[in-house]
Amino acid sequence: MASAGCWKCLSRPTSVQLSSHISLNRVPVGIAAFSTSAALGKAPATAKKPGVSAEQKRLNQRANQTKTLKIKKKVPVKTGKPPMPGERKAMRKRIVLSNTNALEVPDMQDLNAEMVESEEWVGKVVGLDGKTVDGLRAAEAFKVTQGWGLFRRPGVLVRGESVALGKRLGEWVGKKKMLRLVIDGEKGTGKSLMLVWAMATAFVRGWIVVNIPEGEFSEG
């Protein structure tokens, strides 16, 4: 069957056919003619983070629980009778003047009025009899830091300063004046023991001793 159009028409399209062909196959600007990718205006896809496994989640949860775990301390159980008010202070201030486990010093003589000003006893230890100890205890001359509990019975070392103090006190006997004397020295040099010596010499001489323990001087 013969074609309605001529072969020249097929080889050379007319203007009408050409315009219709162009209009149908016109491609819009910015879009590819054939592509499987997304449009160019779409935001690029972000890379996915690797997922956390169930085992890692369990370990993280256990670590968080360990950080916030509070260990409760056991409350100590009180056993026995609690001390009475003032009992602890009394035990802390208690003065022990004898030690039965200590050795007895042989040939140790007791302090008397003749030894007070004698330089022959310098460097020797003399004991204190019971009457003198009772007077010193009543005057609160002993202190916890003096270490009386290390010896069998109370005793003092006669030093050169001790004899000088005894002579100084003896010079004021019978005078109607007051002797003001300050004993000074570094910590641990024996200032409190020097006061014990002064009061002990006063007791063996038969003097009246008035002691103000832990006294403080204030101006005004």
Q: How many CB atoms lie within 10 A of CB 173?
A: 8
Q: Say if 215 falls within a structural domain.
A: no
Q: Say if 52 falls within a structural domain.
A: no
Q: Hey, what's the torsion of the CAs at 202, 180, 193, 110, to 10 degrees?
A: -20
Q: How far apart are CA 113 and CA 85, in angstroms?
A: 43
Condensed to tens digits (0 to 9), the pLDDT of residues 201-219 reads 999 999 999 998 877 766 6
Least confident of 9-13, 59-63, 84-88, 92-96: 9-13
Q: How many CB atoms lie within 10 A of CB 168?
A: 13
pLDDT reported for residue 18 = 44
Q: Say if 166 falls within a structural domain.
A: yes
Residue 193: domain span: 91-204
Band (13; pLDDT cuts 50, 70, 90): low
pTM for the whole thing? Answer: 0.58
Q: Say if 85 falls within a structural domain.
A: no
Pairing assessment for the beta strands 125-127 and 155-157 based on DSSP bridges: antiparallel
Band (27; pLDDT cuts 50, 70, 90): very low
Condensed to tens digits (0 to 9), the pLDDT of residues 95-115 reads 888 898 988 888 899 999 989
Q: Say if 25 falls within a structural domain.
A: no
Condensed to tens digits (0 to 9), the pLDDT of residues 149-162 reads 888 999 999 999 99
Band (172; pLDDT cuts 50, 70, 90): confident
Q: How far apart are CA 159 and CA 81, in angstroms?
A: 48
Q: Say if 24 falls within a structural domain.
A: no
Band (46; pLDDT cuts 50, 70, 90): low
Band (24; pLDDT cuts 50, 70, 90): very low
Least confident of 67-71, 114-118, 154-158, 190-194: 67-71
What DSSP assignment string belongs to 120-169?
GGTT-EEE--HHHHHHHHHTT---GGG-GGGSSS-EEE--HHHHHHHHHH
Residues 195 and 169 sit within 8 Å (Cβ to Cβ): no
3-state secondary structure at position 56:
helix
Residues 96 and 149 sit within 8 Å (Cβ to Cβ): yes
The amino acid occupying position 152 is R
Q: Say if 131 falls within a structural domain.
A: yes
pLDDT reported for residue 16 = 47
Q: How far apart are CA 7 and CA 5, in angstroms?
A: 7
**Total domain count for the chain?**
1
pLDDT reported for residue 188 = 84
Confidence check: pLDDT of 39 > 80: no
pLDDT reported for residue 19 = 47
Q: Say if 154 falls within a structural domain.
A: yes
pLDDT reported for residue 135 = 93
Band (22; pLDDT cuts 50, 70, 90): very low
Residues 172 and 179 sit within 8 Å (Cβ to Cβ): yes
What is the average pLDDT value for the chain, to the nearest integer? 77
